Chains A and B, each alone.
Chain A
Amino acid sequence: MKKLKGLGNRAYNILFHTHTVAGIVISFALFVIFYAGAFSLFRHEIAQWENPDFRQEHKKDIDIDGAIEKIDRAYGIDFSQRTNVILPNKKKPVLSIYATKATEDSTERAFVSAYLNPNTGAVQDIEKPVTTVSDTIYHLHYFRQIPVIGLYISGFVGLFFLFAIVTGLLIHWRNLLTKFYAFIKEGKWKVIWTNAHTVLGVIGLPFQVMYAVTGAFFGLLTLILLPIAFLQYGGDIDSVTSKVIPFRAVKVDPHAPEVRHLSLNELTEKILEEDASYELTNIQVLNYGREDAIASFTFNSGDNVHSSGTYVFTLIDGEIQEEYSMRPNERKNGMAIIDYVFGLHFARFGGTLLKVIYFVLSMITGFMIISGILIWRTARDNNEYTYKQRLFHHKVTKWYLAICLSMFPAFALIFIANKVIPIEMLDRTTYVNSTFFIGWLAMTTLGIFWNKYSQQNRNYLIMGGILSLIVPIANGIATGGWIWNMWNTYQWVAYIDMFWLFAGLSALYFSFFVLKVKVTSDRPVALESSKKVVDEALQLAKS
């Protein structure tokens, strides 16, 4: 096959070096992002698995006004600020409200976030959740556990991932066609890792470019919005966001007289009269209970990216406000960009199959990251480097592999912790989180004592395999949600248990029957000491 014209020698070597450095610096953080992200694709499904509140019937006719009033009585909502109502759906059959807390002291903003169980009428504070598996994993995905800078770190990792993709593509360019099908598992390890890295990199290219850009978008949004707002829109962030979401431009008078206006329930019915198949997702309301109250209803009319619509009504007369509204399928491509970004990043446009494909591609990307680390190490495992350098390469590789590979058992552990720690226990989420993070740290530290990479790999697979098998059992014992019970009622609970069952069995199968670990160590041997051994042997032979 014809080789493509590649880069010149200088450009090739320079870009190769930047690719290596950028890649090694972000590698383990990127792995954490992809691994946690792969699970986060199913976070609503996992929420149903972990939280008994979400395992209940999805009530269609729900009293929205009653719910708002109930949460207002419990927490006190400042209605002059936006109050966001997320309506129940099949996976999350509770009504969530995010609002600003009414306080005497106006300098400090406090928030209300709570959900109402429509079947029991119980109110639950979202900031003090009962369970936290999907939330912890989702927060880990963008390093929210690191205060203030966590999100920016994840954004920069995304940006440098894009840089690594571009430079990687450029240096691989001349072999792009010839190595397209290089699924070769024979030869030297360096060649195997290189082929795996480049072949999977090319296959995953569109997926990875998309995630690098959308990831950077979410992480660094503030960094790009601030200068645009200051230099173009006179420092007003609201005027920037209202370009995209017109409803943000609405201003209300917090001292408008209190009136009895139309209820949100009535307006919901009015929208459903237009087309009963519309699925309302959320309602944003301003100045609820006052004369100039206004509400924005967002709904879905189908499965494509343009199918969402927004109707804005003034509540006093129920008149639709056309300037803020957007009928479904009428939006121009240019204005739907944010929907595209969200749709692509959260896999919202192709149902469950797409999420499964995304999950597999995320795991492939994880493999690519690890093979990149191993190329870096294997290519430096020769006499051109001093013993000290080689020992450093070995230690870095060992740490990176320990951090990355121990995520599999650690994730199984947080699923188990959620079921083993009793649901009535006070502050149980703290215990679940500490079990996860301390467990992950402990397993990482353990991996440092294994000097053979294949041994690390196999041992983590065994640990993960055993813990995975416990997950469905723990769920069955703690909640009665055995796979066969959930099969006909809450399928996702059964699917998640089956996923862990499959992951556990295949991990154990591979670690015992497929992987071979030779007893030698990957730790480099000091040249001086080996020379000494040879010299001593020669001395012995002479005498």
Chain B
Amino acid sequence: MPAKTKYLTTSGWKRFSKIIATIFGAYAASVLLHIVFIKNMENDAVALLTSAFSIYFFWVGFMVMVYLVKRVWISWAILLSVILISSSLIYI
């Protein structure tokens, strides 16, 4: 029953990179995305309150994405583009 190893990542640095991406990359992407959402909502209090729990769903969603995407650099590219686009929208 254990997962078949032929589908799993064997390279050590790729695994490390994925773990960093799930914890920090997914966190940054999720939080920044929500700040854009709060900034652009008329009622920012309600947006803030909704973020308080939806951030975790997005965080976990990005985590699953990191593992499902075949190549590590593509998951990083997705996360970084979310981070960069959100950041630029926040500073505009």
Contact = CB atoms under 8 A, between A and B. Distances in A.
A335 B2 CA distance: 45
Given A14-B8, A159-B60, A228 B38 contact: yes
A13 B5 CA distance: 8
A335 B47 CA distance: 10
B72 to A, nearest CB: 13
Contacts of A280: none
B33 to A, nearest CB: 11
Contacts of B73: none
Interface string B30-44: 011011001100011
A163 B60 contact: yes
B35 A227 contact: yes
Interface centre among A194, A214, A231, A244 (most CB of B within 10 A): A231
Contacts of B59: 159
Interface in A488-506: none
Contact-residue size bin, chain A (C-beta under 8 Å from the other chain) = 35 or more
A216 B27 CA distance: 13
A335 B46 contact: yes
A217 B60 CA distance: 13
Interface centre among B2, B4, B67, B90 (most CB of A within 10 A): B2
A240 interface: yes
Nearest to B63: A163
Given A243-B44, A243-B48, A338-B49, A15 B68 contact: yes
A341 B63 contact: no
B82 interface: no
Interface in B50-87: 50-53, 55-57, 59-61, 63-64, 67-68
A337 interface: yes
B56 A337 contact: no
B45 interface: yes
A243 B63 contact: no
A213 interface: yes
Interface string A36-73: 00000000000000000000000000000000000000
Nearest to A10: B7
A13 B8 contact: yes
A1 interface: no
Contacts of A14: 3, 7-8, 67-68
A166 B35 contact: no
A191 B68 CA distance: 27
Given A217-B56, A244-B45, A228 B68 contact: no
Interface string A10-51: 110111111010000000000000000000000000000000
Contacts of B68: 11, 14-15
Contacts of A163: 60, 63-64
Nearest to B44: A243
A337 B39 contact: no
Nearest to A221: B52
A517 to B, nearest CB: 26
B92 interface: no
A217 B53 contact: yes
A213 B56 contact: yes
Given A232-B39, A380-B2, A334 B53 contact: no
B60 A232 contact: no
A343 to B, nearest CB: 13
Given A13-B8, A228-B38, A334 B3 contact: no
A334 B67 CA distance: 33
B60 A13 contact: no
Interface in A192-234: 194, 212-214, 216-217, 220-221, 223-224, 227-228, 231-232
Contact of B50 (A17, A18, A243, A334): A334
A337 B7 contact: no
Contact of A337 (B34, B49, B63): B49
Interface string B1-38: 11110011000000000000000000100011011001
A379 B2 contact: yes
A244 B49 contact: yes
A45 B15 CA distance: 47
A228 B1 contact: no
A378 to B, nearest CB: 9
Nearest to A165: B60
Contacts of B8: 13-14, 17
Interface in A334-381: 334-335, 337-338, 341, 375, 379-380
B60 A16 contact: no
Given A13-B7, A244-B48, A213 B53 contact: yes
Interface centre among B32, B46, B53 (most CB of A within 10 A): B53
13 contacts: A13-B4, A159-B60, A166-B64, A212-B56, A224-B52, A231-B32, A231-B35, A232-B39, A232-B44, A332-B46, A337-B49, A337-B52, A379-B1
Given A337-B52, A337-B53, 20 more contacts: A9-B7, A13-B3, A14-B7, A14-B8, A20-B3, A159-B59, A163-B63, A213-B56, A227-B32, A227-B35, A228-B34, A228-B48, A228-B51, A232-B35, A232-B38, A332-B46, A335-B49, A375-B1, A379-B1, A380-B2
